Amino acid sequence: MKRLMFVVALAICFLGILALPPAPASSQTAVRTEIRIPDIPGYRTLKCDFHMHTVFSDGNVWPPIRAQEAWLDGLDAFAITDHIEYQPHAEDIPTNFNRSYELARPYAQAVELTIIRGAEITRDEPPGHLNALFLEDVNPLEKADYRDAVKAAVDQGGFVFWNHPGWKQPDRKSVWYETQEELYRQGRLHGAEVVNGSTYYPRVHQWCLDKKLTMLGNSDIHNPVEMNYNPETGAHRPLTLVFAKDHSAESIKQALFSRRTAIYWENTLIGESAYLEPIFQRSVVIRNPELTLNGTRTSYLRITNTSDVSYELSADGSIPNVSLPGTVTLHAGKTVIIGIRAEAKDLTGRRRIRLPYRVKNLLVAPGQGLPVTLDLQVRFLPAES
């Protein structure tokens, strides 16, 4: 509630001082919630939202509030993507396709957030809605033919992705249109939203794998963020995780075109194993990697999960002569114990074992969890007579 009051106060402030970054009221303190998802080898894991709206299209907040919310929510980069063709507040706010970016940028720069200039090309289905990022100027995208609008974005070096494929399609099942096929074959469709708001599109997930499209997950937020995602309950907006060298717009752009992304949605990560596996391995610390199994008595493996994702593990095989739990939850930010025991009383010696599991909420394909192992050195002692 304090955070919401702070955001509302800032909104009022911005109505009077439109182009200046806000200063917190003396009685309020802005508190950022950091998102604990580790970096992977060679790259930083950036938390990004590339789809949101303001009063400059059909959103209900002033643009600098989007920057404030992004900082509070632990984001590293964001894009405001107001509709070009849909301007319901046109009688109140002059149509200026670059203005929401210009108003949000001072605050974003003040708190070292990367803001990316973007827009939403808004057409009936097909082709539906398309977002364009890394634009130099939004105005050239105002075209009668959507093909010309997409070309104008690509001519600026823009990255184009398909928004919420399934939102208005039959039975809300994603359909790959001929229009999308045309853009795809022309090299003008670079990615798609696998997650939009609260909705996951498994068909789109598979398309991205098959067609080598970049996976994105975004909020498509129109209201103040806290009206949709209450942080006091642990809820968070969906995010695109971008694996980039640094947080500059150019580095993020290079990562998106190289398909170095994953999605953080609710308590799930979605992406390729090349990115999800190092996230898991760098999140999980085995506190006692050398374990003694004495007869058939249960010994306990202690595991700490340093991330914000509670990993849900299901056994994916067996170990000869060793009994392990069929399911395990590695709770976010917690240490758990896993009971393990030998299945015979007279085992002796030492050996390295790899406990096989699948992480059900790390999706490398629709319905397919990431295979992982928990590696440890085991010393077997026979039961005392």
Do 22 and 166 fall into the same domain? yes
- Tell me: do 173 and 320 sit in the same domain: no
Q: How many structural domains comprise the chain?
A: 2
Task: Assess if residue 175 is contained within a domain.
Answer: yes
The residue type of 348 is T
Question: Which of 266, 298, 330 finishes a domain?
Answer: 266
Place of tokens 């060793």: 322
Of 266, 298, 328, the last residue of a domain is: 266
The CA distance from 344 to 85, in Å, is 71
Q: Which amino acid is at 384?
A: E
Q: So what's the pLDDT on residue 30?
A: 85
β-partners of residue 118 are: 133
Are residues 348 and 210 part of one domain?
Answer: no
Same structural domain, 108 and 159: yes
Which of 12 and 259 is assigned the larger pLDDT?
259
Each residue's pLDDT tens digit, 272-308: 999 999 999 999 999 999 999 999 999 999 999 999 9
Domain assignment present for residue 310? The answer is yes
Query: Could you give the CA distance from residue 54 to residue 63 in angstroms, rounded to a whole number?
Result: 6
- Does pTM top 0.75 for this prediction? yes
- Which residues, in sequence order, are bridge partners of residue 129? 122
Residue 11 lies in a domain: yes
**Percent of the chain whose predicted confidence (pLDDT) is above 70:** 92
Residue 274 lies in a domain: no
Q: What CATH number does the domain containing 235 carry? A: 3.20.20.140
Q: Greatest CA separation found in the chain?
A: 88
Q: Does residue 234 belong to any structural domain of this protein?
A: yes
pLDDT at 26 over 60: no
Name the residue type at position 142.
Answer: E
Helical spans, DSSP H, in the chain: 2-16, 63-72, 99-110, 146-155, 178-185, 202-211, 225-228, 249-257, 273-283
Same domain? For 27 and 125 the reply is yes
Q: Is 233 found in the same domain as 97? A: yes
**131-173 per-position pLDDT tens digit:** 999 999 999 999 999 999 999 999 999 999 999 999 988 888 8
Note whether 36 and 138 are same-domain residues.
yes
326 in the Ramachandran plot: left (φ > 0), alpha (ψ -120 to 50) or beta? alpha
Same domain? For 368 and 341 the reply is: yes
**Residue 43 falls within a domain, yes or no?**
yes
Residue 90's pLDDT is 87
The reply to whether 277 falls in a domain is: no
Pair 254, 325 in one domain: no
Residue 134 per-residue DSSP state: S
Domain range for residue 355? Answer: 285-381
pLDDT for residue 115 is more than 60: yes
Beta bridge pairs of residue 57: none
Per-residue confidence (pLDDT) for residue 29, from 0 to 100: 77
229 and 302 housed in the same domain: no
Cα separation values, 250 from 37, 97, 219, 254, Å: 22, 22, 22, 6
Q: Say if residue 232 is in the same domain as residue 349.
A: no
Name the pLDDT band for 4 (thresholds 50, 70, 90): low
CATH number of the domain enclosing 326: 2.60.40.10
Q: Which residues lie below 8 Å from residue 233, measured CB to CB, with a gap of 6+?
A: none
Domain boundary among 234, 266, 298: 266
Tens digit of pLDDT for each residue in 182-219?
999 999 999 999 999 999 999 999 999 999 999 999 99
Enclosing H/E stretch for 299: strand 299-305
Note whether 213 and 310 are same-domain residues: no
Identify the pLDDT of residue 265: 98
Q: Does pLDDT of 325 surpass 90? A: yes
How many Å from the N-terminal Cα to the C-terminal Cα in the chain? 63
* DSSP class per residue in 150-215: HHHHHHTT-EEEE--TTSSSGGG-----HHHHHHHHTT---EEEEEETTEE-HHHHHHHHHHTPEE
Share above pLDDT 90 across residues of the chain, in percent, rounded to a whole number: 86
Sign of the dihedral through C-alpha 154, 156, 158, 163:
negative
- Token pair, residue 235, equals 């809820």
Measured distance CA(326)–CA(179) in Å, rounded: 46
In a domain, residue 272? The reply is no
pLDDT in tens, 76-104: 999 999 999 999 988 888 889 999 999 99
CB crowding 85-95: b at 16 or more within 10 Å, else e: bebeeeeebee
Per-residue confidence (pLDDT) for residue 92, from 0 to 100: 86
Q: How confident is the model at residue 3 (pLDDT cuts 50, 70, 90)?
A: low
